[in-house]
Structure formats: C-alpha cells, structure tokens
Amino acid sequence: MKETKIYERPKSWKKGVHTHYCPGCGHGITHRILCEVIDELGIQEKTIGIAPVGCAAMMYDYIDVDFCEAAHGRAPALATGLKRTRPDQVVFTYQGDGDLASIGTAEIVHVANRGEKITTIFINNAIYGMTGGQMAPTTLVGQRATTCPEGRDPNLAGYPMRMCELLATLKTPAYIARVSVAQPKYIIEAKKAIKKAFEYQISGKGYSFVEVLSNCPTNWGMQPVKAFEWTVSAMMPYYPLGVFKDFDKEAE
Amino acid sequence: MARVLMKGTEAIAEAAIQAGCKYFFGYPITPQNEIPEYMSAKLPKIGGAYVQAESEVAAINMVMGGGATGTKIMTSSSSPGISLMSEGLSYIAGCEIPAVIVNVMRAGPGLGGILPAQGDYFQATKGGGNGDYRLLVLAPSTLQEAVDLTQLAFDLAFKYRNPVMILADGFMGQMMEAVEIKEYKGQDYDVVPWALGNMEKRGKRTILKSLYLDPGDLEHHNIKLNEKYKKMQEEEVRYEEFYADDADVLIAAFGTTARIAKSAIVNLRKEGKKVGMVRPITLFPFPYDVIKERASKAKHVLVMEMNMGQMLEDVKLAVGERTPVSFFGHAGGISHSVKEIEEKIREIL
Ligand SMILES: Cc1ncc(C[n+]2csc(CCOP(=O)(O)OP(=O)(O)O)c2C)c(N)n1
Ligand code: SF4
Ligand SMILES: [Mg+2]
C-alpha cells in the first residue's frame, strides 16, 4: 500500500514539544504557519524572533530560531536594534493586542514609520489573554471582559482600534494585511500573507505587518469551535480582512 | 590623536567611537544633546547607524536589541530620560546584555531644571528598575577621565555582560577641556556563544530572556547574577585618594564636586590643615574598604554631593560608628564653591 504523508512537523518547530496554549487557541495555529513559512523560505538559521509579553511569551519553547524576550510592548524597538546591527538577519516581532495596540502603541507606530526592515505578526484576540480576560484596545463594542463586565462602552472606552487601518495612513510601511486563522480557507490565506511579509523584508522592500484575527476561547468563555465562529461573525465585520498597503501594488 | 580642546559631551561621543561603538540610539534632552548630534553626523560615515528613537523607552530597547547581537552599543540621556529607561535597564541586566548608558545628570526631581546635579546616585546604584540587578556605575571627574571611563565601560560591559552607566554631572557634559582620545581596541570577547544572529556558526539557536516561571530556576538565575555582582565588587572597585593617608578631615565626593574639593584641599594643606579625600570612581561597586580604612584614622568624615545626601548612605555604611560623618550638599543646579568648602572645614577642625 502506498503511503502519502499529509502531515509533518515543520523543521523549525522544536522536536517533541507541545504548546501550553489552551485547546483551540489561535496562537498555536499561527505559530505553525509561521514555522512553515520559515522552512519554505529556508531562513531558520538566520531568523531572530522577539517574544512578547502575553500568552505567547514562551513561544521560543516551540519555535527553533534565535529569540530575545521583550518587555511588554517594546518588541518593535528591540527589533530595530537587532536589525540595524545585523541587517543580514530576518527579524520578526510577534505581539498581542494589549502588547501592540495599548502599551506599545508608540513603538509600533514608529517602527512602521521608520520603515524598519522587519516583520510584525499581530495577534488580535480582542482581549488580554494572559492576565485573565481584561478589556483590550481591540475588544468589540458590547463585548464583555473582566474590566468591562457590562460590555465595552464606546462612550467610556472609545471604539476598538483598527491597527491595520491606522498604520496604513503612514506612507512608509511596505505591506499591511489582515488575515484570520478561524477556518482552513482563512489559514491558507494567512500563510500566504505571512510569507509575503517575510519576502518583503528579505528583499529589502521595507516594513511588513500582518494582523491575525485569532480567538481566546478561555477568556471569551466559549468552546473552541464557537470561539472561531465568533471571530468570523463578530470580529470580521468590524475588522475586515484584506491588504491595506502593498508597495508592489502601489508601484503598478 | 593629540590633545585637543573638546566639549565634554563630544569627547564622550568620540571616545565611544574610538572604542569601536558604531551604533547609537537616543532621544533628545538637555544637557547632553551634543552626544546624539555628534553620533548622527559620524556613525553613518563609518558604516554604523544612529537612530533617533521615539522616546527613551524605545531608545533603551533599541540598545537592548543591538546589544543582543553582541555589538558595541551606546545611548545617552539625562535624568528624566534615564527614569524612562529604567524598565529596559532591568531587562538588559536580567537578560545579561552588554550596553553603555551615559547619564549627564541634571537637577530633579521631576522636570527639575537643566543645570548640573548629582541627584541620580540612588537611581544609578540602587535600582531604578525592578528586581535584583546592578549597573556598573562609573563617575568621571575630569574630561580626560570621562574619555577613559567611556572606553573602559565597553570593556566592562562585555566582560560582565551587563549594562554599564557613565554617571556624569551636567558640568562634565558642558565644560571644555583638552583631552586625548586614543583608539582603544579593548579586549576581544567572543560573543558567538551567547549573542543572537550566530545560529549558523554555533550550530544551534540561543535565547536571551529574563523570564523563569519556575521559582527554582529564577532563584538560580538571581544567584548567578549575584555572583557576577560580587565579582565586580572584588575586581572592579576604583577610586582616587588625594592626601587621604594622614587626613584628619576626610572628604568623600565624586564627579565635579570632588574636583572642586581638590582645590580647597590644596589651599588648606598650605595652611597646614590635614584635609584629604577619597573619590569613588566606581559608584557600584562602591569603595567601602578604603573609606573604612581612611576614616578609621580621621577625626571627621565630610560627604559632599550636589544632592541632598545620597552617596552619604554608602559612606555611613563604610564608616560605621567609629568616626562622625557630616554632610554638605547643594541641589537645584548649585555647586559648591572652593571658599565655602574651606570655611566648612575650618568649622569642623
Ligand atoms: C509593564 C507591564 N505591564 C503589565 C504587564 C502584565 N501583562 C502581562 S500580559 C498582559 C496582556 C497581554 O495581552 P495581549 O498582548 O493581548 O496578549 P494575549 O495574552 O492576549 O496573547 C499584561 C497586561 C506586564 N507584564 N508588564
Ligand atoms: S488564554 Fe486565550 S490567548 Fe491565551 S492561550 Fe488561552 S485561549 Fe489562547
Ligand atoms: Mg490579546
């Protein structure tokens, strides 16, 4: 009988490790496609990742490339120092929505505006996962969180921040896209976008940013399947998928 | 390079370049703006980079990233900016990354004023950021010393894989003096075993982190760091003695204050008054032993600082109960005059 291998551990995924993520969490899926992209581009030995403060703080336990930890929200600044001193390396930050859109807002806006040749993977799960489900800058209007038990009130907390749209107002960034990992069809697109983002960095086009609409079944209080349904039904209308900036398209 | 007349800030910048520093990340603040300005003009021409960060918070994290690749990195700022860098300094120390930070101190607290002061002694030597960590702190008292210590700072940063701070007061930054800046190679430290970006050479990846969720692991990490700090205390204590061996009145002062005190000591010695000084050059590690030794033979110890009494605490720790210790300070940007120091000492004698 002929066997066809349909599943394989990516080479850059650390052997024999399992993540600490809750079942059905989008962090794990995103890590996997990140590893696949690293493998396909053959850049494992020259990639430096920057781990955030958030649920993905220990992503270096799973992804087998050089890593540095960053203080909460500071990954883009750290990446700047890394890339400026080692332009031959491929540098990425991986950040949650609290990390990137709240405490690290200054750092993300300026790394994009300087056009640092790095890549950012932005995990939008509309909540502070690690600290137990507090309101994030991306929490939807009406969505309950432990620090907005009655649901987010835009009169008090403002409207959720759309980071792709905000960053796309800048002239410098080379590539800005929003994807999702809520269903297989979206995952395929997400991987393409992440790959493109890395390619833009490698070819020196400039700064690339991919927002991933993820989930947090634990703090949303939903079963994993329900949680991804909610990503599609509640998040996507407010956070439309698509490409917001693309140097190549602009050049055409 | 021959002796040339230079402004303190520029001398420090050029000294760093001659020590092999090609990367600078900073944010403007008076009175140290000439350092980033100098770096922004020079570094791109020697294949390095200058980045004007969006804040000191970002600047120190750029420093951390640059240091993480095992590259010689520097930033400079002044007091309020250093406050913002405290978070990053704790991470840099925790992750054991070499970096050089210059603080050209101005008067505080808060926005305070732009005039020279020494009010950041506690911040530099006792913390600033969270957790058990230490900076090596070097306090120059002349421009030539600022040049030499800046170059030494890079060596120490790599020797210990630790942030090193040059703690200069505003005078050091603004005054002009003849200095000689030599090209300084320093020791060659092999960074491949720990620095990022060497996976190919090393054959496996590496991680720089301060996160240890297991309490046993974290205690172990702290013990390891502490052993390093102990080694600094054993090997890196630096100080200058000035007529200290037979002093009845022993002055303890650092930086510009010590320099002013020297003039008073010379004058008083002419009158036959036995006055001397121990001037700590490293504020961490602090020269407790020599101060203890010299104070034991003195009748009085006088601590002078451009603050309300910070190094005073370390001097008291060194002296103990054996000799009376008094304090003479100025703050707000006011410095001591030679005359008032002489008067103060006459009062004591
Ligand atoms: C300076 C600082 N402030 C606060 C925290 C606490 N903290 C840790 S993770 C986190 C939020 C993480 O949320 P997010 O970035 O959305 O990541 P997620 O866990 O959802 O992936 C916070 C506030 C911290 N570690 N450091
Ligand atoms: S808390 Fe939420 S974001 Fe964190 S691992 Fe669990 S599901 Fe994922
Ligand atoms: Mg989140």
ipTM of this model? 0.97
Cα–Cα separations (whole angstroms), residue A109 to A77, A166, A203 = 10, 9, 22
Q: Which of B235, B250, B276 is the last residue in one of the domains?
A: B235
Q: Based on the domain organization, do B331 and B252 belong to the same domain? A: yes
Q: Based on the domain organization, do B172 and B287 belong to the same domain? A: no
Q: Where are the alpha helices (DSSP H) in chain A?
A: 26-41, 75-85, 97-98, 105-114, 154-157, 163-168, 184-202, 217-220, 224-230, 236-238, 247-251
User: Is B64 within 8 Å of A78 when comparing Cβ atoms?
Assistant: yes
Question: Concatenated DSSP letters for A8-46?
Answer: ---TTBPTT----SPTT-HHHHHHHHHHHHHHHHT-GGG
Give the predicted TM-score (pTM) of the model: 0.97
The answer to whether residue B1 scores a pLDDT higher than 80 is no
pLDDT at B222: 98
User: Is B196 within 8 Å of A45 when comparing Cβ atoms?
Assistant: no
The answer to whether residue A108 scores a pLDDT higher than 70 is yes
Query: What residues of chain A lie within 8 A of the CB of B65, using their CB?
Result: 50, 68, 77-85
Q: pLDDT tens digits, residue range B22-81?
A: 999 999 999 999 999 999 999 999 999 999 999 999 999 999 999 999 999 999 999 999
Q: Based on the domain organization, do B84 and B212 belong to the same domain? A: yes
Q: What one-character DSSP code corresponds to residue B196?
A: T
Q: Based on the domain organization, do B243 and B210 belong to the same domain? A: no
User: Is A46 within 8 Å of B197 when comparing Cβ atoms?
Assistant: yes
Q: How far is the CA of A74 from the centre of ligand 1 (A)?
A: 12
Q: Residue A227, Cα to own-chain centre: how many angstroms?
A: 18
- What tokens appear for B155 in the block? 């060596």
CB distance from A63 to chain B under 8 Å? Answer: no
- Give the HSE-up count for residue B308: Cα atoms under 13 Å, Cβ half-sphere: 4
Q: Based on the domain organization, do B218 and B299 belong to the same domain? A: no
Nearest ligand 2 atom to the CA of A54 is 4
CB B97 within 8 A of CB B75: no
Which residues face B116 on adjacent strands? Answer: B106
Question: Best residue in B55, B60, B61, B63 to probe A by mutation, most A CBs within 10 Å?
Answer: B61
Task: Work out the percent of chain B whose per-residue pLDDT is above 70.
Answer: 100
Q: Which of B235, B259, B291 is the last residue in one of the domains?
A: B235
Q: pLDDT tens digits, residue range B307-317?
A: 999 999 999 99
CB A123 less than 6 A from any atom of ligand 1: yes
Q: Is the peptide bond prior to B285 cis by the omega test (within 30 degrees of 0)?
A: yes
Please give all residues whose beta carbon lies within 6 A of any atom in ligand 2, as ranges. Answer: A 21-22, 25, 27, 55, 125, 129-130, 216-219
Cα–Cα separations (whole angstroms), residue B289 to A64, B259, B285 = 48, 22, 11
| DSSP helix/strand/coil, A85 | helix
- What tokens appear for A199 in the block? 């390619």
Q: Based on the domain organization, do B32 and B134 belong to the same domain? A: yes
Q: How far is it, in rounded angstroms, from Cα A170 to Cα B242?
A: 59
Query: What residues of chain A lie within 8 A of the CB of B25, using their CB?
Result: 80-81
Q: Based on the domain organization, do B192 and B312 belong to the same domain? A: no
Instruction: Point out the residue among A45, A66, A80 whose CB comes nearest to the CB of B196.
Output: A66
Query: What residues of chain B lie within 8 A of the CB of A68, using their CB?
Result: 64-65, 68, 95, 196, 207-209
pLDDT band at B127 (very low <50, low <70, confident <90, very high): confident
Q: Based on the domain organization, do B79 and B214 belong to the same domain? A: yes
Instruction: Check which CATH number belongs to the domain holding B32 and give it.
Output: 3.40.50.970
Overall domain count for chain B: 2
- What tokens appear for A63 in the block? 């992804």
B228: Cβ–Cβ under 8 A, 6 or more apart, which residues? B160, B161, B162
Which CATH architecture fits A26-251?
A: 3-Layer(aba) Sandwich (3.40)
Q: Based on the domain organization, do B173 and B255 belong to the same domain? A: no
Q: Based on the domain organization, do B335 and B201 belong to the same domain? A: no
Q: Which of B200, B235, B270 is the last residue in one of the domains?
A: B235
Domain that holds residue B189: 4-235
Task: Work out the percent of chain A whose per-residue pLDDT is above 90.
Answer: 95
CB A181 less than 6 A from any atom of ligand 1: no
Cα–Cα separations (whole angstroms), residue B308 to B81, B105, B122, B123, B348 = 21, 14, 11, 14, 20
Instruction: Point out the residue among B61, B198, B209 whose CB comes nearest to the CB of A78.
Output: B61
Q: Based on the domain organization, do B35 and B174 belong to the same domain? A: yes
What value does the mean pLDDT of chain B take?
97
Could you state, in order of their start, the residue ranges of all structural domains in chain A? 26-251
CB A97 less than 6 A from any atom of ligand 1: yes
Q: Based on the domain organization, do B172 and B265 belong to the same domain? A: no
Q: Name the minimum distance, in Å, from the CA of B33 to any CA of chain A.
A: 20
Triad B206, B211, B212: Cα angle to 5°: 100
The answer to whether residue B173 scores a pLDDT higher than 90 is no
Instruction: Check which CATH number belongs to the domain holding B247 and give it.
Output: 3.40.50.920
